[in-house]
Structure 1
Amino acid sequence: MKNFLKVKKQKVKKKNLKKTLNKTLILVGLGNPGNEYRETRHNVGFAVINYISDKFEVTLKKAFFKPAQIGKFIFNNSEIHLVKPLTFMNRSGDILNYVLSKTGGSINDIILICDNMDLSPGMIRLKKSGSSAGHNGIKSVIANLDSSEFKRLYVGVGRSETGESVVEHVLGRFNSEEESKVKEAVVTASEALLSLTEKDISLVMNEINKRNN
């Protein structure tokens, strides 16, 4: 979803990076690699990572001998890591122990970003933890981290209204009305994630809930 949204770029300040940082955020967007999956419902996690990387002109580089693209920048005196697993969705968690080792982060720093069929297109939801709710990407992350105690931000993609299977639905593309709503949700989700550098997660969750209502 590299061209999913046009982004107003924002320069990242690179001075004084050695001073003590307030927070570390590891933003992990889920999706499937390959052009055939671009802009599908299952790839909204990639769309959020792409939006942030474009906005801050962060290059996502292929990890050395690892199936992931990774980038890093400083924002609000916080270190933010952007991660796109390049495995298919049901193996999304394979890379995360490597990411934690490379970044020096912990499970508490991870925020998973993925699609959610129980939310209407355009809605987002931030949670501190939870089950997989049947999402294969989240199942893989839980299995690899041996924990479900990580944050996740859901972007709504809705359920099929035409009787197609779940797989057909999540691997399908948005109609024009849905696409407009999801583009807005990608921006809102990105802003919510970045606000966690200076706000408590409970406050951000409340702000999102008010928006959804």
Structure 2
Amino acid sequence: MYIIAGLGNPGREYANTRHNVGFDTVDVLADRYRIEIETKKHKALIGKGIIEGQKVILAKPQTYMNLSGESVRELVDFYKIDETTELIIIYDDISLNPGQIRIRLKGSAGGHNGIKSIIQHLGGQEFPRIKVGVGEKPVGYDLADYVLGHFTGDDKYEIENAKKRAADAAVMMICGAAEKAMNEFNRKV
């Protein structure tokens, strides 16, 4: 079994913001594979289903970004998965250009508070992740205002494509092709 958790903030006011591309990517998977994400469990909205023959839990932690680790820890413990191989976290990254994707099998938080929380609660940095680039904040902008803002102009188009590619990457990863996914998706767009 695999858990694919997209990070974001709950509530309508955060829908379609830069910080919620993890939620949005999980929604792409849910639509594609007809998985309903509506059960509230483990401080998350979850949906159970099958993706390419693999049992999966799609999760959207409802703890707000900075506390994402609480939900992820509960999910990992309850479903007794190996977080180093059977967990995929999808989230926004301001150090990547809008629409760029980067897959890592482990690593630091890189300043992302949701990932900091997950590292703290899991007790380590070894878990697969898919970063979706949302672009660097403009000079003079407050970081929180930027990541909680909406996409504009060409970025909207790039992000829609990135969410689909991130979903494709997650599918490859659960099918045992993490290295292939890294080779295919870690290129600049």
User: Stretches of 4+ moved more than 3 A in 1?
Assistant: none
Cα deviation digits, residues 167-195 of structure 1 (max 9, x gap): 11101111021011000000011011111
Deviation at residue 82 of structure 1 after TM alignment: 0.5
User: What is the alpha-carbon root mean square deviation over aligned residues?
Assistant: 1.4
Counterpart code for 1:100 = V
Query: Which position in structure 1 is the counterpart of 2:60?
Result: 84
CA contact (8 A) 2:102 2:132 kept: yes
TM-score by length of 2: 0.94
Q: What SS class does the counterpart of residue 93 from structure 1 fall into?
A: helix
**Whose radius of gyration is greater, 1 or 2?**
1
Give the drift of 1:162: 5.0
Is residue 2:159 matched to residue 1:188? Answer: no
- 1:5 is matched with none
User: Aligned residues, how many?
Assistant: 188
2:60 partner SS: strand
**Correspondence 1:70 to 2:46:** yes
Q: Who is 1:151 aligned against?
A: 128
Aligned-pair identity (%): 36
Cα distance in 2, alignment partners of residues 105 and 137 from structure 1: 20
Give the TM-score normalised by structure 1: 0.84
Query: What secondary structure does 1:153 align onto?
Result: strand
The equivalent residue for 1:59 is 36
Q: Tell me, which stretches of 5 or more residues in structure 1 are unaligned?
A: 1-23
Q: Match for 1:28: what amino acid? A: A
The answer as to 2:90 corresponding to 1:113 is yes
What's the offset of the Cα at 1:130?
Answer: 0.3
Q: Deviations over 1:92-126 (max 9, x none)?
A: 01012221233221212111100000100010000
